[in-house]
Amino acid sequence: MASAMELSLLNPAMHHHGIAAKTASHLPLLPARRGAVRFRVRAAAAAPPAPAAKPGSPKKRGKTEVNESLLTPRFYTTDFDEMEQLFNAEINKQLNQDEFDALLQEFKTDYNQTHFIRNPEFKEAADKMQGPLRQIFVEFLERSCTAEFSGFLLYKELGRRLKKTNPVVAEIFSLMSRDEARHAGFLNKGLSDFNLALDLGFLTKARKYTFFKPKFIFYATYLSEKIGYWRYITIFRHLKANPEYQVYPIFKYFENWCQDENRHGDFFSALLKAQPQFLNDWKAKLWSRFFCLSVYITMYLNDCQRSAFYEGIGLNTKEFDMHVIYEDRPTARRRGSSLLYRMLRTLNSRGS
């Protein structure tokens, strides 16, 4: 999602598991301890959704509640039994094992193993950032970290659950969770430059989990990964051409980072090909179109709320979104995509 699920979705039929956050306070940001990284991947790896809290039960350890809205990056869960059926080669003859073997080799190569290494520029840049820009940057890091971590949790669990049914697909999911953990960890270290850290262990337990049937998980993750790719590469290219807006070095890492997201998207593309029933009948076509539109609309609404961030790095928010949608059009159905493109253009001309 950039990250498995960089983008939250406006889900028509969502069910929630876990603690329902009622009031907006904030994500569980904590003052960073010197030298301590509050990123507990192992502890979070296969954690099931937490049981619902009893009404009125006290919050543990005095942590703040999780701020949720329709547009907050979400954590996802799915029907793992159905997933096992879908990836059972005995049942599904469409599975192209050769293609999955080739993809597995790609993931094993681990192109970005040594990419995410920090340097002193990060802290220096963060210290220079003050006022509203500093605040919006913290929010950017926090939301991106949550979204990447959401991908980590989902992929990790899929890797675990599919191990017996389809070890190759399971290993790919585990290697994708490796990538997402790396992305989330890098963003969380970014937060430490601002003397903060996300308590991801707490988030794992306290966050609501949105249930999607496997079909919808495939649509949502595929789109999120591909759109994530376009968002990262667009920001990278823009800042390369306009270095005066390079206010924080994390963007310099986006070029290789987005290749991870592109590979994740390619894997979901192969998964969808192996499940033609999710693509070919009229219902599937409507659902996939609907998902495409909701992902774009969510992205647009999210970004419009944060135009100060995009302006801070020299981007026009609406133009940026239109560029991502336009570039992403082979991913989406061309008609759906251009419809939204026209819609955004109309909104843009009204706004200016």
Nearer to Fe ion, 182 or 205 (CB): 182
Nearer to Fe ion, 37 or 91 (CB): 37
Task: Determine which helix (DSSP H) or strand (DSSP E) holds 285, and give its type and residue range.
Answer: helix 282-305
Binding to Fe ion by CB under 5 A, coded x per residue (else -) over 242-261, reads -------------------x
Nearer to Fe ion, 258 or 344 (CB): 258
Structure tokens at 108: 């094993």
Structure tokens at 164: 């017996």
Window contacting Fe ion (CB under 5 A); options: 47-55, 164-172, 179-187, 231-239: 179-187
Window contacting Fe ion (CB under 5 A); options: 47-55, 110-118, 178-186, 210-218: 178-186
Place of tokens 């774009």: 296
Nearest approach, Cβ of 228 to Fe ion (angstroms)? 6
Contact 7, 224 (CB under 8 A): yes
Number of residues this chain uses to bind Fe ion (CB under 5 A): 10
Nearest to 277 by CA among 192, 218, 212: 218
For the segment 97-156, give every residue that binds Fe ion (CB under 5 A): 148
Query: How distant is the alpha carbon of residue 281 from its chain centre?
Result: 28
Among 3, 146, 294, 337, binds Fe ion (CB under 5 A): 3
Alpha-carbon gap, residue 165 to 344, rounded angstroms: 44
Nearest approach, Cβ of 144 to Fe ion (angstroms)? 9
- Strands 209-211, 75-77: pairing is parallel
Among 107, 264, 310, 341, binds Fe ion (CB under 5 A): 264
- Strands 16-17, 75-77: pairing is unpaired
Nearer to Fe ion, 129 or 295 (CB): 295
Nearer to Fe ion, 148 or 193 (CB): 148
Nearest to 291 by CA among 276, 278, 275: 278
